[in-house]
Structure formats: C-alpha cells, structure tokens
Amino acid sequence: MSDCLFCKIVAGEIPATVVHENATTLAFRDINPHAPVHVLVIPKEHVEDSAALAEAGLANDVLLAAAAVAAKEGISESGYRVTFNTGEDAGRTVFHAHAHVLGGTGLSLRLG
Ligand code: AMP
Ligand code: ZN
C-alpha cells in the first residue's frame, strides 16, 4: 500500500533500525520505546491486523521472528511480551499488522 508507513519501511523509503529480517518478515526498533527492548515485527506483505495476518498464513512467521528477536536481544530467558493492538480502544495507530516485542525489564501486568 503506497500510503502505509510500514510498507514504506519495508520498501526502504523510510529509515528504521532493523534488528531481524527474513523472506517474509521485518523487525525494527519502535521509535517511541516503552521498554528497554521494544521491537516491532511486521509481515513484509501488507495485511491490516492480527486476524488478517492469520488468514494470510503469516502469523506463524511473525511469532517465530518475535522469538528470534528475543534471542538476539538476549531476553529469551528473562522473558518478554508479544502484543497485537486492534482498534481504537487498544490505541492502534498504524494499520499494517505488527507485533510489539517488549522486554528487558520487569513488565507491568496492567492490561489497560
Ligand atoms: P500501534 O499503536 O500498535 O499501532 O503501534 C504503532 C507503533 O509504531 C507505536 O508504538 C509507534 O511508536 C511505532 N512507530 C510509529 N512510527 C514509527 C517509525 N517510523 N519507526 C518505528 N516505529 C514507529
Ligand atoms: Zn503496509
């Protein structure tokens, strides 16, 4: 999608600090981190949300990439959170499916 921020990152039109990449996914640091490790994992193909990600058969790739990011960032053992926001109440701002990988500190259990 030509007007999608994350598609532009995939295309190299907008810079990002890439931490992991393979044929179907790209992972880069969140520009406004909420934890010492805050990486976004996206499918290279534009799909809108987590349900569309699953329907496209890409959810597995994104979750495996999230685990690879955790390993690279050294938080596999200490623990991390993988989050998908959907819709306004979840504070969704970018409509290209993405998993937030958060860790590197004790994370609050607060859900809202
Ligand atoms: P969400 O609220 O789930 O839609 O998350 C969108 C995330 O994208 C937010 O955490 C933003 O900080 C992050 N973000 C927005 N623009 C960029 C960018 N150019 N590079 C990296 N992360 C970004
Ligand atoms: Zn997109």
Residue 98 known to be catalytic:
yes
Apex 43 CA angle, 38 and 46, nearest 5? 120
- Would you kindly state where each structural domain of the chain is located, as residue ranges? 1-15+26-36+56-74
- Ligand 1 nearest-atom number relative to CA 98: 3
Q: How far is CA 83 from the centre of its chain?
A: 8
- What pLDDT score does 109 carry? 75
pLDDT exceeding 70 applies to what percent of the chain? 96
pLDDT band at 51 (very low <50, low <70, confident <90, very high): very high
The two structure tokens encoding residue 6: 């994350």
Ligand 1: lining residues by beta carbon, under 6 Å: 5, 14, 16, 28, 30-32, 40, 85, 91-94
Residue 112: pLDDT over 60: no
75-91: pLDDT as tens digits: 999 999 999 999 999 98
Determine the Cα–Cα distance for residues 75 and 12; give it in Å rounded to an integer.
Answer: 28
Question: Residues 88, 90, 91, 93: what is their CA dihedral angle, to the nearest 10 degrees?
Answer: -70
pTM, two decimal places: 0.96
Residue 4: pLDDT over 60: yes
| Residue located via tokens 């981190």 | 33
Q: Which alpha helices (H) appear in the chain, and where do they start and end? A: 5-10, 50-55, 59-73
